[in-house]
Amino acid sequence: SAPVFSLEQALYAALAMVLMGYVVDIVVDGGNRQRAAFIVSDAWEDIKQGIFDELDRGCTELMARGGYTGKDRPVILLITSRSEVTLVKTIVYEYDPNAIIMFTDVSEAIGYGFKEFTV
């Protein structure tokens, strides 16, 4: 829109689009968006302790078997806020730079430490 109108109006339009996207996310998702992290690492015990110490948050160990190695080991499942994703990456990298982290969106987390159950 800058060539047709002005640069100022183009910037206002871009800002309005970003804000509308944010508002639509809040309305559709209820403002309770979380992130789930699945962490695969040989240093899972150290990473788990780092999560406890630095995030003051619990996590869950899921037992998994490596498809290539056939080795059994836990995968850490962690539900966290979007703002804590960078800290999770930092903790994992500190203990194991070769770890695998998968992040996914969680539309709602219910239970202790999250949203309360409502019927």
Rounded (10°) CA dihedral 75, 81, 84, 90: 10
| Average pLDDT score over the chain | 88
pLDDT tens for 17-44 read 999 988 887 777 666 678 999 999 999 9
Residue 62 pLDDT greater than 70, yes or no: yes
Structure token digits, residue 47: 């990473």
pLDDT tens for 99-119 read 999 999 888 888 777 778 777
pTM of the model: 0.73
Is residue 78 within 8 A of residue 88, CB to CB? The reply is: yes
Q: Which amino acid is at 4?
A: V
Residue 82 pLDDT greater than 80, yes or no: yes
For 39, phi and psi rounded to 5 degrees? -115, 120
